[in-house]
Amino acid sequence: MTKRYLTFCAVLPLLGATALAGGEAPKPAQESAAAVTDRHFTAEEVRTSGSVTINGARLDYQAIAGTLVVHPRDWDDVPRPADEDKKAKESDKNADAEAAMSFVAYMKSGADAASRPVTFIFNGGPGSATVWLHMGAFGPKRVLTAEDSHTPAAPYKIVNNDQSILDASDLVFIDAPGTGFGRIAGENKEAAFWSVDADAYAFSEFITQFLSKYGRWNSPKYLFGESYGTTRAAVLVNQLQNERDVDVNGVIMLSQILNFDLSPDGPDNNPGIDLPYQLALPTYAATAWYHKKLPGYQGGVRDLLNEVETFALTDYALALQAGSSLGDEQRQAIAERLQRYTGLPVAYILKADLRIDGGEFEKSLQDDTNTTTGRLDTRFSGPTIDPLSKDADYDPQSSAISSAYVSAYNHYIRTDLRFGEGKRYKPSAGLWRTWNFLHQPPGEDAPVQQAANVMPDLAMAMKTNPNLRVQLHAGYYDLATPYFEGIYEMKHLAIPRDLQKNISYVFYESGHMVYAHEESLKMLHDTVAAFIDGTDNIEAPADGP
pLDDT in the model for residue 541: 63
Nearest to 11 by CA among 496, 400, 540, 325: 400
- Helices 301-313 and 315-322: angle between axes, nearest 10 degrees: 40
- Helix segments in 214-274, DSSP class H: 228-243
Q: What is the pLDDT of residue 21?
A: 31
Model confidence over 389-431: pLDDT tens digits? 877 766 667 677 888 999 999 999 999 999 999 999 999 987 8
Q: Looking at residue 160, what DSSP letter applies?
A: E
Question: Is the predicted pLDDT of residue 1 greater than 50, yes or no?
Answer: no
> For 100-130, what is each residue's pLDDT tens digit?
999 999 999 999 988 899 999 999 999 999 9
Please report the pLDDT score of residue 33 as a whole number.
45
d(CA 284, CA 202): 37
Helix H or strand E segment including 349: helix 346-351
Q: Which of the four pLDDT bands, split at 50, 70 and 90, describes residue 153?
A: confident
The mean of the pLDDT values for the chain is 89
Q: Are 258 and 455 in contact (CB under 8 A)?
A: yes
* pLDDT(3) > 50: no
The model's pTM: 0.90
Topology of the domain comprising 62-69+101-261+427-535: Rossmann fold (3.40.50)
> Given this model, what pLDDT does residue 389 score?
82
Q: Which region among 76-85, 181-190, 260-269, 491-500 has the lowest average model confidence (pLDDT)?
A: 76-85
| 248-257: pLDDT as tens digits | 999 999 999 9
Of the ranges 135-149, 386-400, 444-458, the best mean pLDDT one:
444-458
Q: What is the spatial distance between Cα 206 and Cα 180, in angstroms, rounded to a whole number?
A: 15
What residue ranges do the domains of the chain occupy?
62-69+101-261+427-535, 272-397
Q: What is the pLDDT of residue 30?
A: 43
Q: Is the pLDDT of residue 478 over 70?
A: yes
Q: Per DSSP, which regions of 144-272 are E strands?
A: 158-160, 170-174, 183-185, 221-226, 250-254
Position 61 pLDDT exceeds 90: yes
Please state, for a pLDDT cut of 70, what percent of the chain lies above it. 87
- Position 237 scores a pLDDT of 98
The answer to whether residue 82 scores a pLDDT higher than 70 is: no
**pLDDT one-digit tens code per residue, 316-357:** 999 999 999 999 999 999 999 999 999 999 999 999 999 999
Kindly give the interhelix angle for 275-290 and 301-313, rounded to the nearest 10 degrees.
Answer: 160
Looking at residue 14, what is its pLDDT?
Answer: 33
Mean pLDDT across 348-370: 94
**What does the pLDDT average to over 198-210?**
98
In the chain, what percentage of residues exceed pLDDT 90? 75
